[in-house]
Structure 1
Amino acid sequence: MDNTPIIYQPLKNAKRIKIHIPYELKELRDVFKKINTTFWHPNQKLWSIMYTEENVALIKNIFGKNYKTVNEVTPTPIEKRPLNQYAIEQLFRLEKALVLKKYSASSVRTYKNMFSVFLTKFSNKDISIITKEEIEGFVYELITKNKIGESYQNQLINAIKAYYEHVLKLPREYYEIQRPKKAVSIPNVLSKEEVLKIIQHPKNIKHKAILWTIYSAGLRISEVLNLRIIDIHSKEGYLFVKDSKGKKDRKTILSNHLVVLLRTYFKKEKPSYWLFEGQTGGKYSTTSVRAIFRKAVAETNSNPWATVHTLRHSFATHCIENNVNLRYLQNMLGHNSPKTTEIYTKTIHINNKNIESPLDNMLKNVNFKT
């Protein structure tokens, strides 16, 4: 087994650099951990550190001559060409079908962008008679040549399937395209201590109220921005979430502490319709919420890989740790299937503080020498 540390050459504009330190090199790892901004990523089995010239020099000095540098895989850009009239017409047909089916504006944009990639390849052919084998060959070429990831591949297939299903009205057998094997990944989760540091950090009461609302109710970023004043049911103790993912309405928990904060916020900011509004009225922006969160994460030295959605993952995990019924949690999160909710049972912290080993249970009243 190779016991050589690996420094992964970061991509352009990367903010962190990834490091692999073999398990056997405990002393080296202990020295590395003492450097400021280091972080362990359990899913990737890698360390990372802020990408600066000083840190790179420090790492190389610690590792001495005993390390390898490996380039991260860089995708090859997909060639973009102007679409001909036929392709533009097909793109419009897809857009029209999706709008009539009430797809969200962001979903329509994504589907159009992905379908444009497909049309670039097949714009000189009648795409209504393209075979499934041709489509899969096209996807295979993007995987092998352009190094597209699983998410990109799935979005591309979704767009192609949407055209054949909603525009051409073909049976499923004509567009059942091979998908990548679904990875069983565990959501990134913050500790309770990290969450508290992050959501308490903003000095601006609106910024603080937004982060409190997302975490305390397990909301998606779009859901917190779509909250209306009338959606706060403080007497009954719930938040009403209208038109969430999948065009579903639902109820979720309303924290008593959040109610107190929202009342203070409301008196100061006086929103007129949306709970969180911009300076000139209208909904608060997604970009602004992400900026608030990133600033709080950076200034509290929390997990740099966390996103706004990590607060939702953390809410779910902490609910399970607090023994909330999975059925209740499923309803609060708005999941169609309990299997989606059950993934959070894998994110709870497992240690001998919250779970008793059967060995300890058996030996409680047994006295013997080890």
Structure 2
Amino acid sequence: MNWRAQLITYKKEKRIAVIFDKDARLIARIKTFKDARWSVSKGYWHLPDTIENRNRFRIPSTPVPSDEGIQELRKFKHWLQSKRYSDNTIKTYGEALKSFLTFFNHKSVFEITNDDVILYTIEYILKNRLSSSYQNQLVNAIKLYFKTIHNEILVIDKIHRPQREKVLPNVLSKEEVKQILSAHTNLKHKVMLSMIYSCGLRRSELLNLRPNDIDSKRNIVIIRQSKGKKDRITPLSPKILEMLRNYYIAYKPKTWLFEGQNKGEQYSEQSLQSILKQALQKTKITKPVTLHWLRHSYATHLLESGTDLRYIQELLGHNSSKTTEIYTHVSTKSIQQIKSPFDELY
């Protein structure tokens, strides 16, 4: 007997659809199940989504996209690769779209509407208290995907984004940065953290540096094909250059500027995170500091020292000046000059 079962949403209720050609014995059998219903419009029987019914009809505990959805995910990934999107973007968009298509694995991809996008937002994103940044990533993925398959039902321009959260970047004081950068006695660890702060680097930008990207004649660091597939340069501090020379003599890197235990092997993100964690433990700093805090601190300290915002934008590799302007809200240079009226009461 040929039949198949899949998860569906029926009137906002999770259920299991059992689909088979008309067969008197199967119909009689399925009628014996508790709360079994026939859908005239869809042409299948459906049952409550319970563990017992999932096991009975061999439905995996972890929901997955439909066969059509899996095929579309594969096509979307290939399209992103052909457009030379970064591995991180492909992974992020792929996971966001997979979550969306899994939620609607009971219907054809080509039948998804704008109302479905809203339903997913309410029933999945909001119910699971997921962030607006995740929702924004999902919107990016959905818009890009549906542009490639030309769904005639869904109107791409009507997919709305969440209101942007106004979250200030986390910034360390210069004294705190000094403590963190001085915490390690290991030369490689000290240089890696110092490079992130002194050049305002992202984690991936540091790990992707090669020895030839350090131009000691011009005192610059060349950051190649970073976020947005862009090259940029950032000034190289004379003190950092001296540290790098000592590091180069001691470690003699070949392929990557910072290599793992094996020559030619790129240093891992997990190990870099661990370096920061160890530094924080040594300094007794209890703030939930991340590597990106060092980049934020670099930008804010530049602004407080009088560097023009336009130059900071170029140094950080921001596409929009609006992204860089957020540092004006955490700079304390002007705020500290304001005298509180409380001081005049006494």
Aligned residues: 281
- The letter for the 2-side match of 1:97 is W
Which of 74, 79, 103 in structure 2 is aligned with 1:92? 74
SS at match of 2:323: helix
- Taking the aligned partners of 2:323 and 2:317, their CA distance within structure 1 comes to 10
- Taking the aligned partners of 1:356 and 1:134, their CA distance within structure 2 comes to 51
- Taking the aligned partners of 1:179 and 1:296, their CA distance within structure 2 comes to 39
Mapping 1:1-370, distance limit 5 Å: 80-168=62-150, 173-174=155-156, 176-280=158-262, 281-350=264-333, 355=337
| Unpaired segments ≥5 residues, structure 1 | 1-78, 360-369
- The answer to whether the 8 A contact 1:190-1:303 is kept is no
- Taking the aligned partners of 2:153 and 2:221, their CA distance within structure 1 comes to 41
Q: Using structure 1 for the length normalisation, give the TM-score.
A: 0.71
- The letter for the 2-side match of 1:145 is K
Inter-CA distance 345–170: structure 2 relative to 1 (3 Å threshold): farther
- Taking the aligned partners of 1:94 and 1:136, their CA distance within structure 2 comes to 22
- The letter for the 2-side match of 1:298 is Q
- The letter for the 2-side match of 1:274 is W
State the Cα distance separating 1:227 from its structure 2 match: 0.8
Q: Using structure 2 for the length normalisation, give the TM-score.
A: 0.76
State the Cα distance separating 1:282 from its structure 2 match: 2.0
- The answer to whether the 8 A contact 1:232-1:239 is kept is yes
- Taking the aligned partners of 1:171 and 1:331, their CA distance within structure 2 comes to 41
SS at match of 2:168: coil
- Taking the aligned partners of 2:228 and 2:63, their CA distance within structure 1 comes to 33
2:46 maps to none
SS at match of 2:232: strand
- The answer to whether the 8 A contact 1:97-1:167 is kept is no
- The letter for the 2-side match of 1:341 is T
- The answer to whether the 8 A contact 2:111-2:153 is kept is no
What's the CA shift string for 1:12-63, capped at 9, x where partnerless? xxxxxxxxxxxxxxxxxxxxxxxxxxxxxxxxxxxxxxxxxxxxxxxxxxxx
| Unpaired segments ≥5 residues, structure 2 | 1-60
- The letter for the 2-side match of 1:310 is W
Inter-CA distance 313–328: structure 2 relative to 1 (3 Å threshold): same
- The answer to whether the 8 A contact 1:231-1:240 is kept is yes
- The letter for the 2-side match of 1:238 is I
- The answer to whether the 8 A contact 2:69-2:109 is kept is no
Work out the percentage of aligned pairs sharing the same amino acid.
Answer: 42
SS at match of 1:186: coil
Inter-CA distance 172–81: structure 2 relative to 1 (3 Å threshold): closer
SS at match of 2:162: coil
- The letter for the 2-side match of 1:283 is Q
- The answer to whether the 8 A contact 1:164-1:170 is kept is no
- The letter for the 2-side match of 1:302 is I
State the Cα distance separating 1:254 from its structure 2 match: 0.6
What's the CA shift string for 1:110-139, capped at 9, x where partnerless? 222221111112223222232112211221
- The answer to whether the 8 A contact 2:113-2:153 is kept is no
SS at match of 1:274: coil
Inter-CA distance 169–119: structure 2 relative to 1 (3 Å threshold): closer
- Taking the aligned partners of 1:303 and 1:166, their CA distance within structure 2 comes to 47
- The answer to whether the 8 A contact 1:165-1:171 is kept is no
- The letter for the 2-side match of 1:282 is E
Segment of structure 1 superposing worse, 234-243 or 162-171: 162-171
- Taking the aligned partners of 1:85 and 1:213, their CA distance within structure 2 comes to 47
- Taking the aligned partners of 1:285 and 1:171, their CA distance within structure 2 comes to 44
